[in-house]
Amino acid sequence: MDDRRDWPPLEPARVGLRGRCPRCGEGRLFSGFLTLAPRCDHCGLDYSFADPADGPAFFVICFACIPSVLFAVYAEVAYEPSFWFHAFISVPLIVLTCILPLRPLKGWLVASQYYHKAEEGRLAAPGERNGSADGTR
């Protein structure tokens, strides 16, 4: 049951954004908001291969947080709104755009790691090229 050939390949975006197992598409990927489950509760896939590191945070900061903060700064400089504008518009906008995308992006990155068989990089031994010891593929 652990063999990849027993399961059809699933698109990382389809399963990852929904927080589903990258192998079967049924089990849950997360046990908490951002905590990965130890394994799939449906097919038993061990999620220890997954290491999205700071990828989700990087994408959220670049594409959501920075524009949200720039909006708040622009509103302050251009219109000098009251404290209540920032309390009810700017702060919730920043919190929503910084927190909510983290889980789907982390799921997508974990599913992409599984789909593309990503693994930790390693140095090749002398004479080894393209994964074979004799230099041929």
Domain boundaries, the chain: 4-115
Q: What pLDDT band is residue 123 in, cutting at 50, 70 and 90? A: confident
Q: What pTM value is reported for the model?
A: 0.80
Looking at residue 6, its pLDDT comes to: 80
Shortest CA distance to 13 belongs to which of 111, 100, 114, 113?
A: 111
pLDDT given for residue 1 in this prediction:
43
Residues 6+ apart with CB under 8 A from 61: 98
